[in-house]
Amino acid sequence: MPEITWLTRYGPEGASSRYRAFQLADALAEHGWTSRLEPLAEWRGSSGGQLVGVGRRVRRLRTLDHDPGIHIIQKEPVMPPSLYRVVARSLRRTRVPIIWDIDDAVWLGRPGAEEMAADMCGIVDHVVAGNRSIGDWAVRHGAREITVVPTCFDPVAAPNTSSLGDGPRVVWVGSPATAPLVEPFAPQLRQALGALPTMSIEFVGGPPPPELRGHERVMSTAWSPDAELEALAAADFGLALQERSEYADHKCGFKIVQYLAYGIVPIASDGPVHAEMVGPHGLLIDGSTEASAVIDRLGRPPTDAERRALMDYQRRNYSVARATEAWSTVLAGVDPGDRSAP
């Protein structure tokens, strides 16, 4: 089998790289695939480190022919359009097979980035998309082959069902960059806190919306692997909220996968990706949803049977085994000897 080189955005500290590259490289190794992982830059590194990383990535992409095997580019090449035009000429000429793995439409709303992403669709041999919306976007922009592989996850501890009845316990997991997406839904959450005197909300990785700060039953926890695990293992409901936009409608919905894996009922904003992932297993809301509907759902923490149904649904659709199987098929179908230069 040819070696795989993963050109990731970050190291394992970055969630997208951790779950869509590092954990899969380990899982694929059990199936005979060997991998190298080359991050662009450190997670939350300095701007100087980012520039050094971009320069290194440019040189890497221009010399792929010297490194046979299969190359996987995670997200877009992360560089100014002027540099990308130079890189694109090399990518079109190379005979090394290239897979482009994209979990969020990070190019939307960024000047020049959407044109660069659209051009990538026509260059690479295969696009692996985190959801159907991204896959459809890639097809519209000339992708030759696409496979939809959601960002998958395996829980590392069972949910803490021993304290059921102490809730409802609500969790949000994210980052400072995504925390503001919850703000439009803060009025509904504040009304729920008022109506449900045992309800608590823990924000892990980012601050609560301003309207909820200072509330005695709203907590903010710095992200760490242990903090995330502890919060997920103890929660009844998980928030995955954002207003509808073109970007939001293409997001991968990974929070929902995490919640399902721990038997947590998702309270998610309505949208095509979320609707597909949640199915009958949660509540979809938007800005016009009455707070009474949110309060009604939060007032009924899941039973053990409901938690098992959530976890079974996740294992069937969003487990690492599911992703590994899909990626094995993609990799086996990419022949390093057959790529024809335009």
- DSSP per residue, 47-93: HHHHHHHHHHHHHHHHTGGGS-SEEEEESS--S-HHHHHHHHHHHHH
Looking at residue 105, what is its pLDDT?
86
- Predicted TM-score (pTM) of the model is 0.88
Residue 270, exposed/middle/buried by CB under 10 A (0-12, 13-18, 19+)? middle
- Predicted confidence at residue 272, as pLDDT, reads 87
CA count, 13 A, side-chain hemisphere, 268 = 28
Do the beta carbons of residue 197 and residue 223 sit within 8 Å?
no
What does the pLDDT read at residue 165?
55
Residue 171 pLDDT: 97
Report the 10 Å Cβ neighbour count for 1. 13
Give CATH superfamily name and number for 4-152+320-332: Glycogen Phosphorylase B; (3.40.50.2000)
Nearest-angstrom CA–CA distance, 72 and 75 = 10
Residue among 342, 337, 244 nearest 284 (CA): 244
State how far the Cα of 323 lies from the Cα of 320, in Å rounded to an integer.
5
Q: What top-level class would CATH report for the domain 161-318?
A: alpha beta
Phi first, then psi: give them for residue 168, nearest 5 degrees.
-70, 135
Q: Let me know: does 231 contact 174? Beta carbons within 8 Å.
A: no
pLDDT at 342: 44
Per-position DSSP letters for 285-314, written without gaps between them: E-TTS-HHHHHHHHTSPPPHHHHHHHHHHH
Residues in the chain: 342
pLDDT by position in tens, the chain (length 342): 889 999 998 888 888 899 999 999 999 999 999 999 999 877 666 667 778 888 888 999 998 888 889 999 998 777 888 889 889 999 999 989 999 999 988 888 788 888 999 999 999 999 999 999 999 999 999 999 999 999 999 988 666 654 455 779 999 999 898 899 999 999 999 999 999 999 999 999 999 999 999 999 999 999 988 899 999 999 999 999 998 888 778 888 899 999 999 999 999 999 888 988 898 889 999 888 999 999 999 999 899 899 999 999 999 999 999 999 999 999 999 866 555 544
Angle 8-88-135 (CA atoms, 0-180°, nearest 5)?
Answer: 60
Return the C-alpha torsion angle 323, 277, 274, 164, nearest 10.
Answer: -110
List where CATH 3.40.50.2000 sits in the chain. 4-152+320-332, 161-318
